[in-house]
Amino acid sequence: MKPNEYDDIPGTTVFDAQRSRQGYHLNMFCMSLMKAENRAAFKANERAYLDRHPMTGEQKQAVLDRDWNRMISLGGNIYFLAKLFFTDGKSFQYVAAVMTGSSQEEYAQMMLNGGRPPEGNRYAAEWEKKPGRKRG
Amino acid sequence: MARIVAGVATSHVPAIAAALDLGKSGEPYWKRVFDGYQRSKEWLRKVDPDVIILVYNDHASAFSLEIIPTFALGCAAQFPIADEGWGPRPVPAVKGHPELAAHIAQSLILDEFDLTIVNRMDVDHGLTVPLSLMYGQPKEWPCPVIPLAVNVVQYPPPTGRRCYHLGRAIRKAVESFDQNLRVVVFGTGGMSHQLQGPRAGLINKAFDERFLDAIARDPAALTRISHVEYLREAGSEGIELVMWLVMRGALDDEVEEVHRFYHVPASNTALGHIILENRK
């Protein structure tokens, strides 16, 4: 497939039509957690509940591991994944911290300090120059 | 004749709902946010609109990936509050204005906007947070609300230019409605924020401040911002700002800026708010 203009934004996965197609069943599994009885069934036996959905093995494993960046890379969308982390009793800020590889305290402090600045964070090439930066 | 008297833009951060619903609005972190809306509440009480047209996006609540309408106009008499995973927010159900909504739907389609008509739709924090910020916690919402849901979840959302022109067409529709109604249009979402991936937490204050200046005085310039520029500069979720342009398109070219508020952070987001009034 042809690269997209937005592929060179670092640490960012744009949920476009191709990713939506790839992540359809993963996201629809998350959507099913909007119902209390489904949340209960999932919590009772995660693997069995996941096996009721036609997701790939990689997608199921990423869910079991709560590997949020991996779920995103397999077509997950953050608003759908939210149904999963709400089921876990976690917040957007908790998951954002995990995805950036920082502790929740560090992340919250970064936001209090004005957030992640755009300088140095616009192009993938800017990240490649920085050693030790965690990549998704 | 119905007419549009003013526009309101505001972020719709879900953590604001949690703060309000759990009684945390007096805590210093949240008080700074709610204080920014004190004047707005007084203003809205005075303006006392007959109808609000509220442009927002659904967050995988009413629409999953089964159906993804780009523009969905709520034409129902009532819109239940969505259960977003922890029970519906303890806010009143939203009453619609089916007669005006039906008129707008017809007018827009003949104006070549191929929108989706929705007669059953739960509304989530995208719609209720702006109402809470502007009205507080009333027993009933003081006026009917016509929801206009815009897809910004799956890329690409409609372009800013398209949103601006939709606003123009909404104005034409409102002004051809044969009842004496005063309408306020809300454009919600934004400002800069990114909720996903290793770049989560991106905030671009300079971009946001330029956007706030231009939404008041030079909206045509904003219609030229490309999707990639939004993603790169304002974050993957900052692209929600296209919804502000629907509101702006529905107003006069020249408007009065009544109030502006900008604050970082509200959870992961730069919170932005502006009130614009038509002069006549």
ipTM summary value: 0.94
Q: What is the pLDDT along chain A (136 residues), one digit of tens a residue?
A: 778 999 999 999 999 999 999 999 999 999 999 998 999 999 999 999 999 999 999 999 999 999 999 999 999 999 999 999 999 999 999 999 999 999 999 999 999 999 999 999 999 999 998 765 544 3
Q: Which range marks the domain in which residue B263 is found? A: 3-278
Please count the residues of chain B. 280
Quick one: pLDDT at residue A114?
98
Task: Tell me, yes or no, if A126 comes closer than 8 A to chain B by beta carbon.
Answer: no
Using a CB-CB cut-off of 8 Å, the residues of chain B touching A79 are 59-60, 153
Number of domains in chain B: 1
Residues in CB range of B186: below 8 A, 6 or more apart: B7, B8, B9, B10, B52, B53, B54, B55, B56, B130, B134, B247
Task: Tell me, yes or no, if A115 comes closer than 8 A to chain B by beta carbon.
Answer: yes
Quick one: pLDDT at residue A132?
54
pLDDT tens column, B66-125: 999 999 999 999 999 998 877 899 999 999 999 999 999 999 999 999 999 999 999 999
Quick one: pLDDT at residue A133?
52
Quick one: pLDDT at residue A136?
38
Give the domains, in start order, of chain A with CATH numbers: 14-128 (1.10.700.10)
Nearest CA in chain A to B263: A114
| Euclidean distance between CA atoms A1 and B207, whole angstroms | 32
Taking the model in full, what pTM does it have?
0.96
Task: For tokens 């008297």, name the residue.
Answer: B5
Chain A residues 77-96 with a CB less than 8 Å from chain B: 77-80, 82-83, 86-87, 91-93, 96
Task: Tell me, yes or no, if A42 comes closer than 8 A to chain B by beta carbon.
Answer: no
Report CB contact under 8 Å: A31, B64.
yes
pLDDT tens column, B122-150: 999 999 999 999 999 999 999 999 999 99
For residue B159, with 0-12 CB atoms within 10 Å meaning exposed, 13-18 middle and 19 or more buried, which class applies?
Answer: middle
Task: For tokens 């719609």, name the residue.
Answer: B127
pLDDT tens column, B182-212: 999 999 999 999 999 999 999 999 999 999 9
CATH of the domain at B27: 3.40.830.10
pLDDT tens column, B211-228: 999 999 999 999 999 999
Q: Are B199 and B136 in contact (CB under 8 A)?
A: no
3-state secondary structure at position B181: coil
